[in-house]
Amino acid sequence: MEALRGGVLGLLDSERRIFQDSGQWAVMLDLGWRFTAVSLGNSLVTQGSSSLFSRCKAAHSVTQAAFAKVSSIPFQTPSSMNARPRFFPSAVRLGAVVLAVIAALLPAEATAARVQVLKSTLTADARGLDVTVPADCGAVTVQRRQIPGGWRDILTAAASQGVMRVALPDLGKRPKVRAIIASPAVTGPRGKFPTTFYLGRNSFDASYRGSSGGLRGLAGDFLTPTVPMANDIAGTPTSPPEEADIWKTDGTMVYYFNQLRGLQVLDLADPADPRLVATLRLPAVGQDLYLLPGSGPVRHLVLLTRDDGTSGKTVIHLAKVAGGTAEITHSKVVDGDLMESRLAGNRLFLLTSLWNSPVATGGVISSVSTVSTTLSQWLIEPDAGPVPAGETVVSGGSPVVASGAGWLAVAVSPAGEWNVSDIHAFRLATDGASRLTAGPVRTEGRVGDKFKMQWNNNVLTTISQRSLTDGVWSPTTVLENFHADGPSAIGTKLGSLELAKGESLFATRFAGNKAYIVTFLRTDPLWVVDLSNPAAPVVAGHLEVPGWSTHLEPVGDMLFSIGWEGGTIAASLFDVADPAAPALLRRINLPGSHSESVWDEKALKVLPDQGLVLVPMTSYDNQSGEALKHVQLLDIDLAARDLRLRGTIAHSFEPRRSAMLGQSVVSISQRALVTTDVSDRDQPALLAQVMLAWPVDRVFASGDHLVHIENGSHWSGGWPTARVTPATSPDAVLAEVELGDGEVVTAALRDGKLYVVRELPADGEGGVVPQIARFAGLPAGSGVLSLDIYDATSLPSLPLLGSCEVATDAASRLQTGDLLWPQPNRPCLVIESQPYYFWWRGGPVIDLPMVGAPASVADSRVSATSPLIADPGFGWPSGSQPRLIVFDVATPANPTVAAPLDLGTNGTTLPEGRAANDGLVVVGADSWTEKQDASALSHTVRVIEVPVSGIPSLRPAIDLPGSLFGVTELDRNGFLAFSRAWNGDGGSSLQASACDGRDAYLVDSLPDVDAHAVAAGGRRLSLASGDEVERHLLQDDGRFAAQPSLAIGWEAWDLRWLDGILLGSSGRSLFAADDTMLEDWQFPMWGLGLDSITKAADGDLLVPLGDYGAERLDR
């Protein structure tokens, strides 16, 4: 009735305009009634029922009331109507409306077409009806006579020619029943599915919600070296334990544990021609690496990882590199999260933390969360694997490890006491570790990093920050000396020193009997503390300079530091030859705003023997918004006691580590290794660059090769690129092809050709997105889609064959799906605008003007020379209609494109259901209608005819009962449409409808569905709910039948059918199921999507993982 009401309103509005100029625009309802009565006369007479006529009169009264309420139109008398006979045609039109209203209110028999009654005989028990069915009958309906009420449908069944028996429900004794032809035998397009599929409703109301806010997103997609210190214990190691790092160098070999790929081994014997000689895929699980002592062609390494990327487990891997291959030989899983480690000879000290959750008994929590830290020892034997050699468990978390020659100390934060630390100190010997104190030593403040602990001559020295004094924030640096000479020592405090009250503690460093301490409030005091007398440590001298240091590196009788001054990174050189008079020799503010070295000293490389310092840097160009990455060279002249700024080594990606190799510098990022000739330090010369990792957004298999596609997202700094690799070695690039400007929105490998669609965004001046450009009165460009065709028949060669472009709506960026192929030579792309979500790249914009009132460039509130800036996540809604782009690639060297075909009006959204085949494209379309107290979401399916050549055409919209999420069995005779409708309380139902290309008929539905994701394949419907996937089969009788569920053991939030395989994902888990097999895989990274997964010819799944490359899953 709501849909009818809307139609009546539309007609009344047109009549209102017609009559308005006459002053007498009222609807001629009574005349319309007379016209309707004539039209119904035959039906009324033949029924011979006075009660029926009464119902018609009642319907007339209801209609009058409805017209009055809906349209607020005064009803006129027949005499007034007769005064203006020229309005009779309008009355006739309104009569038709009244006829529709009355028809909606009358019993079914009053308006039904004349039926054909079949010969039938009721069985003796009245539980069956024998019906004689003619050849042209498709379905039979059994009706029961009711008084009053007339003939009412009882059931409908598929017809079977001859005499068929229809089972009846209990209708009592000798009921009045009959059988009629419900539908003729279906031939032509409607013969594609069983007749029962076409018996359901084919007109559907909008689905209603209480409010449209927060619901629109549901329509269409339901779916992250200590200086060796002397000690007085004989027989202890003379060098400090080694720390893990992301890379190790040995001669001309580089061993890199790349977070984006795994272990990568490179040979730099010729710096101008570095070679990637071995790889071991272990992405996103860790980056701590040790190279075991050895030489020759076989080397062994220790790799420390998380267990499959999950928390609570650590894995010790032993890896062997030999003959161009890398493999894991042994693995050991250890409880707890990896926190720190050290390697002393062949003994690995592993620090892990384990959280213990609260225990609830009878609904009452009987304990609180606690954390314990374990220091375990492991003998590393390459041939035998990690062998446990003891462990010590301490209470506390957030461990910090410091170590030196013959000692190791662990600082932990006690449970509930963040302002202090407990120190556990150990003596290291060839047979393991032993305690230096009977129990933990508690400091007055919190020990923040490894440079704030030292053990020397049986004295444990700590530097901590006490943040609270009598409950009031008052940071104070406290240096403490404790007696620590063995397990019997109780950690007696020998002496202490407080300094820099009210200032925060930053960099510290021990060197012999001196401690260097940096604190900061408004200036950077460098404190020199004399530790010669453990009972009375004293300040020998101090120096105040601007800024503060985050790391100190002793260089002879000088200190090199890295830190901050005035918002920029600063490198400084201090003279500490006279502890009483430290002096600043030189400070250089480096050209950059970011460096890993300010929080991880391993990124900083100080090379006194070469007189060189290497600092990885990143800066941002406020004009272009681009990040500039480089390694900064500094001369550190020991003779002249000076620091000088030299040249830079440019990187395409953010550098993380660097080292000298002869006269060359090797620097590495997660994406590339760069070698540079620095014989001229002012003008370093690039020697070579080796790509180590790249984003893989799509991957296709073709014979012995894989084709990787990088979309080239502007925000990640990438570039649209195709890379060809061997199928057996996906990290070895054979060819690389730059795909042009913009960003790849989709790609396909089909019949020996690679099809790539790029979007050239509609950027305004300075990279400003078009909405903001218009908002601020700046110019904006127009968006363009480009289709490029490459010849993939002779890989790794990938030459460009041809391209074509089509203009799109510049209102916003596009969201698209995969290319659809209704014809072999007519790929299609469905596009719709998406809201912009962005952040600003320059300075702040003050008091932006209101939307709808663009400011001119001259407005003082808007800068015309720098890009605009906004808060992260700010969204600008799109305002364009969805469209279909149809290409013609019959001639690859000269592809063409038809004018975009509109699929809806502004605000129309496209759900995920779409398909193409047999010259047709099928797309779902949802649109909102705002009501006074609610919003209505109407659902349709659009069918587009795409000829082999020529202009595509759009058929009239077909109503659906819900939002389309699946299209199956598509050909010119029809298809099955699977949809989902949401109700006002958040629940939903699923529907299957049979479409003949012109209309849709509801076949069956599943009510009250609570599913994270749904997918349809053939006539199978899958629903992800909890840790299972429910399965239903649409049978020939037009009913869903439940089938055994898939127990996958985790929640799937996305489902997709791919060539007869059901795929499901949780973001980091994936399953694949067919009729014979269910397999699942776990990934260490998040963001696993299903839309870009492809299947190789042998059935393997190719899974792109973005920055982490791609996986080939063996099926």
Whether the CB-CB separation of 490 and 438 falls below 8 Å is answered with yes
Whether the CB-CB separation of 1052 and 1024 falls below 8 Å is answered with yes
Question: Tokens 């979401």 belong to which residue?
Answer: 937
Whether the CB-CB separation of 317 and 308 falls below 8 Å is answered with no
Phi, psi values for residue 557, rounded to 5°:
-100, 30
Contacts of 427 (CB under 8 A, 6+ apart): 233, 236, 406, 407, 433, 434, 435, 436, 486
Q: Is the model's pLDDT at 863 over the cut of 50?
A: no
pLDDT of 47: 36
Whether the CB-CB separation of 879 and 811 falls below 8 Å is answered with yes
Looking at 86-90, 437-441, 1073-1077, which range is the least confident one? 86-90
Describe the chain by its helix, strand, coil percentages, rounded to 5. Answer: 10, 50, 40
Q: How many residues does the chain have?
A: 1115
Contacts of 116 (CB under 8 A, 6+ apart): 180, 181
Whether the CB-CB separation of 884 and 827 falls below 8 Å is answered with no
Whether the CB-CB separation of 554 and 566 falls below 8 Å is answered with no
- Residues 460-501 have pLDDT tens digits of 999 999 997 777 888 999 999 999 999 988 999 999 999 999
Across 41-50, 515-524, 1051-1060, the highest mean pLDDT is recorded for 1051-1060
User: Confidence class of residue 309 from pLDDT cuts 50, 70 and 90?
Assistant: low
Q: Using the 8-state DSSP alphabet, how is residue 271 labeled?
A: T
Q: How far is CA 994 from CA 181, 1002, 1003, 1052, in A?
A: 20, 7, 6, 28
pLDDT of 933: 64
User: Confidence class of residue 266 from pLDDT cuts 50, 70 and 90?
Assistant: very high
Contacts of 950 (CB under 8 A, 6+ apart): none
- Residues 589-613 have pLDDT tens digits of 998 778 999 999 999 999 999 999 9
Average confidence (pLDDT) over 37-59: 37
pLDDT of 834: 60
Instruction: Compute the Cα dihedral for 711, 712, 715, 716 and give only its sign.
Output: positive
pLDDT of 224: 29
**Which candidate, 1102, 1100, 1079, 1103, places its Cα nearest to that of 1089?**
1103
End-to-end CA distance of the chain: 53
Question: Tokens 């009878």 belong to which residue?
Answer: 362
| Verdict on whether the full-model pTM lies above 0.85 | no
Q: Is the model's pLDDT at 1023 over the cut of 80?
A: yes
- State how far the Cα of 128 lies from the Cα of 171, in Å rounded to an integer: 10
- State how far the Cα of 1050 lies from the Cα of 413, in Å rounded to an integer: 35
Q: What is the DSSP code string of 1037-1106?
A: TS-EEEEEEEE-SS---EEEEETTEEEEE-SSEEEEE-SS-EEEEE-SSS---STT-EE-TTS-EEEE-B
Average confidence (pLDDT) over 224-246: 62
pLDDT of 847: 36
> Residue-wise over 655-672: b if at least 16 C-beta within 10 A, else e?
bbbbebbeebbbbbbbbb
Judged by phi (left if over 0) then psi (alpha if -120 to 50, else beta), residue 775 lies in alpha
Whether the CB-CB separation of 277 and 729 falls below 8 Å is answered with no
Centre a 10 Å sphere on the Cβ of residue 361 and count the other Cβ atoms it contains: 8
- Residues 748-772 have pLDDT tens digits of 999 999 999 999 865 543 344 444 4
**Which candidate, 862, 877, 879, places its Cα nearest to that of 776?**
862
Q: In which order are the strands placed within the sheet that holds 655-661?
A: 655-661, 664-669, 672-677, 685-691
pLDDT of 152: 84
Q: How far is CA 721 from CA 2, 327, 741, 747, 770, in A?
A: 53, 30, 10, 12, 26
- State how far the Cα of 50 lies from the Cα of 38, in Å rounded to an integer: 16
pLDDT of 812: 54
SS (H, E, C) 216-253: HHHCCCCCCCCCCCCCCCCCCCCCCCECCECEEEECCE
User: Hey, what's the torsion of the CAs at 1045, 1048, 1050, 1052, to 10 degrees?
Assistant: -70
Judged by phi (left if over 0) then psi (alpha if -120 to 50, else beta), residue 308 lies in left
Percent of the chain beyond pLDDT 90?
59
> What are the tokens at 458?
């049986």
Instruction: Compute the Cα dihedral for 225, 230, 233, 234 and give only its sign.
Output: positive
**Which candidate, 714, 715, 716, 734, places its Cα nearest to that of 724?**
734
Q: In which order are the strands placed within the sheet that holds 288-291?
A: 288-291, 299-306, 313-322, 325-335
**Which candidate, 787, 719, 715, 777, places its Cα nearest to that of 747?**
787
Average confidence (pLDDT) over 656-684: 95
Query: Looking at beta carbons, which pairs linking 82-87 to residues 24 or more positions away fall under 8 Å?
Result: 84/22, 84/24, 87/18, 87/19, 87/28
Average confidence (pLDDT) over 996-1017: 92
Alpha helices by DSSP H, 647-728: none
SS (H, E, C) 64-91: HHHHHHHHCCCCCCHHHHHCCHHHHHHH
- Residues 103-136 have pLDDT tens digits of 444 444 333 445 788 999 999 899 999 999 887 7
Q: Is the model's pLDDT at 662 over the cut of 90?
A: no
User: Confidence class of residue 255 from pLDDT cuts 50, 70 and 90?
Assistant: very high
- State how far the Cα of 268 lies from the Cα of 710, in Å rounded to an integer: 28
- State how far the Cα of 320 lies from the Cα of 331, in Å rounded to an integer: 12
Phi, psi values for residue 222, rounded to 5°:
-85, -40
Q: Is the model's pLDDT at 211 over the cut of 80?
A: no
**Which candidate, 730, 722, 744, places its Cα nearest to that of 791?**
722
Q: Using the 8-state DSSP alphabet, how is residue 653 labeled?
A: S
**Which candidate, 717, 1025, 753, places its Cα nearest to that of 893?**
753
Mean residue pLDDT across the chain: 81
Q: Beta strand pairing status for 275-281 and 262-267?
A: antiparallel
pLDDT of 1093: 95
Coil/strand/helix, residue 590: coil
